[in-house]
C-alpha cells in the first residue's frame, strides 16, 4: 500500500524548505507524485515550479557526501553530474589549479609518465620558450662566420650576441643574426666577425653615457609564443614547467640526477603500489638531496604514510589507466570514483594536491587538482595500418617496456588524434574549476547514479 509509505526528506539549496507529504496513487496506477508544503503552499512539485518556485531538488539528486556514503564503491561511469544554472561564459572560466604545494598550473591537464619520454625530451621542453635567457651562446669578434653557422646547426638558431670576451657579463659589441649571414658565399665563411661601428660611434649614435653589458636576452619568437599560448604554465624564469617520472629502484637515482641537471621542476614516483617502504624511502632520499624539488607520490587509498613522508602531491588510482592491468593481474585496487573522493577529502586538509586519471570533468568535480592523460599525449612511434595513422602506446609496466617478472601494463596501438591544439581546448572549454569544487564540497553540486542501460545509451553516440 503506497499510501502508507513515508517519502524520504527533500534537500533544498535555497532558503525555502519543503515538508514532504504522502505518496498518493494517481488513477489507480503505481506511479507516485510527491507533494510538498512550501511556505504554506500545498500541491505537486509541478504546481510549485509553475508558480515561481526554484528551490526544489529531486530526491534522487545526491550531493557527493551522500553519493559516496553508501557501501557501494563507484567508478566514473556509475554516476553523472546533474545540470544546473550557468552564470558565466566559457571565456571567464578559471582553470588555475595546484599540481603540488608550490607549483600552480593554468590548466588542470598533464601528461602521464611514459618510457618514451627521456631526459633529452626534457631539455627540448626547457629550450622551447626561454624567457629571459641568462646563459646564451656568446661569441667574440675573433670568431668567424663559419663558427656562427656551426652554432646554428648545433642549437637551431643564429641570433648570437658578440661580446669582448665571449662570455655573459662582458661588454656587448654587437649581435649576428641570420639576415647577416644567409647570403654569404662559402669563401666568406672564414671571415672574422667584425663590428660595423667603433665603441665611440656606438655611444654617439645611442646618445647614452655608457656602453651596454650583456646580462640576458629575450627573443621575438618567445614573445609570439607568449601571445599564442596564454595558458602555458611557466617558472620564475619564464620557462615552461617540466616534470618527469622516476622509479623506486636504486638505478633510478642516476636518472634523477640527469633529470635534475636537465632542469626538471617536479618528479612523479612511478610505482603501481604507492604505499610501500620503497616509495617512502625514495621520497626521503629526494627531499634530502634535492629539497627544492617537488615530489608527487602515487597511492590508491593509503595517503597518510606518503603525506607524513612529505610528498607535495598524490596520484590516485591503481590499474585504472587505459593501458594498465594492475587490478586484473594483482587482484588489488579500488574503483576510481570512490578512491578519488575519499583520498582528496583527507589530502586537501594538509594542502596536498591530487592528480588522477580518467574522466576530466568528473575527476575535477570530485576534488582532483589535475588530471593525467596517457594515450592522448603519449609521444609514441607512428605507423600506418590500412590507411589509418596509429601510434604505439606502451604501458610503463608492460613486458616490452621493462623486464619485469609480472606485467602490469600492456602494449598496443591507438589511432592518432592529431595535434593537441585541436582537442585540449575542447577538454578545458567551460570548466569553471574553482566554482565546480566549491559547489561539490558545499553540497550544491548534485550527482545521480546511472543504470547499465543509461551508461550504454550515453556512450553509443561517441563519434569523436
Report pLDDT for 301.
53
Report pLDDT for 333.
62
Q: Is the domain of 376 the same as that of 400? A: yes
Q: Which of 176, 171, 163 is nearest to 213 (CA)?
A: 171
Confidence of residue 396 (pLDDT cuts 50, 70, 90): low
Confidence of residue 5 (pLDDT cuts 50, 70, 90): very low
Q: Is the domain of 114 the same as that of 149? A: no
Structural domain includes residue 139: no
Residue 137 pLDDT greater than 80, yes or no: yes
Q: Is 349 annotated as a binding residue?
A: no
Give strand pairing partners of 98: 104
Out of 153-157, 202-206, 323-327, pick the least confident: 202-206
Structural domain includes residue 463: no
Report pLDDT for 307.
87
Q: Is the domain of 22 the same as that of 157? A: no
Mean pLDDT across the stretch 247-271? 86
Residue 418 pLDDT greater than 70, yes or no: no
Strand ranges (DSSP E) for 3-91? 18-20, 35-38, 41-44, 79-81
Q: Is 198 annotated as a binding residue?
A: no
- Encode pLDDT of 54-63 as tens digits: 666 666 778 8
Q: Is the domain of 150 the same as that of 125? A: no
Report pLDDT for 236.
81
Structural domain includes residue 135: no
Residue 309 pLDDT greater than 70, yes or no: yes
User: Ranked by mean pLDDT, which of 112-116, 148-152, 214-218 comes out on top?
Assistant: 148-152
Q: Is 29 annotated as a binding residue?
A: no
Confidence of residue 212 (pLDDT cuts 50, 70, 90): low
Q: Is the domain of 177 the same as that of 276? A: no
Q: Which of 79, 100, 109, 13 is nearest to 341 (CA)?
A: 79
Q: Is 270 annotated as a binding residue?
A: yes
Q: Is 337 annotated as a binding residue?
A: no
Number of domains in the chain: 3
Residue 137, C-beta contacts closer than 8 angstroms, at least 6 positions apart: 151, 155, 160
Q: Is 94 annotated as a binding residue?
A: no
Q: Is 228 annotated as a binding residue?
A: no
Structural domain includes residue 79: no
Q: Is the domain of 163 the same as that of 206? A: yes
Residue 141, C-beta contacts closer than 8 angstroms, at least 6 positions apart: 162, 164, 173, 174, 192, 193, 194, 195
**Percent of the chain scored above 90 by pLDDT?**
2
Mean pLDDT across the stretch 34-49? 56
Residue 462 pLDDT greater than 60, yes or no: no
Q: Is the domain of 373 the same as that of 254? A: yes
User: Ranked by mean pLDDT, which of 20-29, 37-46, 367-376 comes out on top?
Assistant: 367-376
Report pLDDT for 78.
86
User: Ranked by mean pLDDT, which of 1-10, 40-49, 120-129, 227-236 comes out on top?
Assistant: 227-236
Confidence of residue 289 (pLDDT cuts 50, 70, 90): very high
Containing structural domain, residue 104? 90-129+230-454
Kindly report the average pLDDT of the chain as a whole number.
72
Mean pLDDT across the stretch 415-423? 66
Selected residue with higher pLDDT from 361 and 93: 361
Confidence of residue 300 (pLDDT cuts 50, 70, 90): low
Out of 201-205, 252-256, 257-261, pick the least confident: 201-205
Q: Is the domain of 194 the same as that of 248? A: no
Residue 407 pLDDT greater than 60, yes or no: no
Q: Is 434 annotated as a binding residue?
A: no
Selected residue with higher pLDDT from 93 and 345: 345
Structural domain includes residue 77: no
State the chain's maximal CA–CA distance in angstroms. Answer: 104
Mean pLDDT across the stretch 286-306? 81
Residue 169 pLDDT greater than 70, yes or no: yes
Mean pLDDT across the stretch 391-413? 49
User: Ranked by mean pLDDT, which of 51-55, 302-306, 425-429 comes out on top?
Assistant: 302-306
Structural domain includes residue 170: yes
**Percent of the chain scored above 70 by pLDDT?**
62
How far apart, in whole angstroms, are the C-alpha atoms of residue 208 and residue 10?
Answer: 77
Residue in this structure with the C-alpha cell 649581435, named with its chain if needed: 175
- The C-alpha R_g of the chain, in whole angstroms, comes to 29
Q: Is the domain of 432 the same as that of 320? A: yes
Q: Is the domain of 108 the same as that of 156? A: no
Residue 351 pLDDT greater than 50, yes or no: yes
How far apart, in whole angstroms, are the C-alpha atoms of residue 256 and residue 2?
Answer: 66
Mean pLDDT across the stretch 262-288? 84
Report pLDDT for 11.
41
Amino acid at each position: 500500500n503506497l499510501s502508507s509509505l513515508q517519502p524520504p526528506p527533500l534537500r533544498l539549496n535555497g532558503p525555502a524548505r519543503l515538508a514532504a507529504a504522502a505518496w498518493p496513487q494517481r488513477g489507480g496506477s503505481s506511479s507516485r507524485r510527491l507533494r510538498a508544503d512550501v511556505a504554506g503552499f500545498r500541491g505537486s512539485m509541478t504546481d510549485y515550479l509553475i508558480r515561481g518556485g526554484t528551490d526544489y531538488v529531486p530526491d534522487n539528486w545526491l550531493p557527493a557526501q551522500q553519493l559516496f556514503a553508501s557501501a557501494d564503491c563507484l567508478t566514473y561511469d556509475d554516476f553523472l553530474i546533474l545540470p544546473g544554472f550557468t552564470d558565466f561564459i566559457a571565456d571567464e572560466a578559471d582553470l588555475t589549479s595546484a599540481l603540488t604545494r608550490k607549483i600552480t598550473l593554468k590548466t588542470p591537464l598533464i601528461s602521464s609518465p611514459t618510457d618514451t619520454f627521456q631526459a633529452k625530451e626534457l631539455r627540448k621542453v626547457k629550450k622551447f620558450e626561454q624567457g629571459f635567457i641568462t646563459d646564451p651562446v656568446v661569441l667574440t669578434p675573433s670568431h668567424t662566420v663559419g663558427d656562427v653557422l656551426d652554432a646554428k646547426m648545433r642549437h637551431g638558431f643564429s641570433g648570437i650576441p658578440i661580446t669582448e670576451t665571449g662570455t655573459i657579463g662582458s661588454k656587448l659589441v654587437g649581435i649576428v643574426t641570420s639576415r647577416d649571414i644567409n647570403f654569404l658565399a662559402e669563401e666568406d665563411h672564414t671571415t672574422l666577425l667584425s663590428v660595423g661601428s667603433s665603441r665611440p660611434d656606438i655611444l654617439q649614435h645611442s646618445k647614452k653615457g655608457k656602453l651596454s653589458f650583456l646580462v640576458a636576452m629575450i627573443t621575438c619568437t618567445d614573445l609570439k609564443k607568449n601571445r599564442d599560448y596564454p595558458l602555458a604554465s611557466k617558472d620564475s624564469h619564464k620557462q615552461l614547467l617540466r616534470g618527469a617520472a622516476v622509479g623506486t629502484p636504486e638505478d633510478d637515482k642516476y636518472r634523477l640526477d640527469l633529470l635534475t641537471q636537465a632542469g626538471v621542476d617536479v618528479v612523479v614516483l612511478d610505482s603501481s603500489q604507492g604505499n610501500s617502504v620503497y616509495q617512502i624511502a625514495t621520497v626521503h632520499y629526494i627531499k634530502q638531496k634535492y629539497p627544492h624539488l617537488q615530489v608527487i607520490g602515487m597511492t590508491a587509498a593509503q595517503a597518510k604514510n606518503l603525506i607524513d613522508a612529505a610528498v607535495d602531491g598524490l596520484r590516485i588510482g591503481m590499474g585504472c589507466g587505459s593501458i594498465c592491468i594492475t587490478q586484473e593481474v594483482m587482484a588489488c585496487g579500488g574503483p576510481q570514483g570512490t578512491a578519488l573522493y575519499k583520498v582528496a577529502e583527507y589530502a586537501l586538509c594538509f594542502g596536498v594536491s591530487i592528480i588522477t586519471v580518467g574522466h576530466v570533468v568528473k575527476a575535477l568535480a570530485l576534488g582532483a587538482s589535475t588530471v593525467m592523460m596517457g594515450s592522448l599525449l603519449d609521444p609514441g612511434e607512428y605507423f600506418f595500418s590500412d590507411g589509418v595513422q596509429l601510434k604505439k602506446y606502451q604501458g610503463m609496466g608492460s613486458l616490452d617496456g621493462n623486464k619485469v617478472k609480472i606485467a602490469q601494463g600492456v602494449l598496443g596501438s591507438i589511432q592518432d588524434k592529431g595535434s593537441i591544439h585541436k582537442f585540449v581546448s575542447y577538454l578545458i572549454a567551460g570548466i569553471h574549476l574553482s566554482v565546480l569544487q566549491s559547489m561539490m564540497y558545499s553540497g550544491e553540486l548534485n550527482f545521480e547514479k546511472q543504470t547499465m542501460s543509461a551508461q550504454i545509451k550515453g556512450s553509443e553516440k561517441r563519434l569523436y
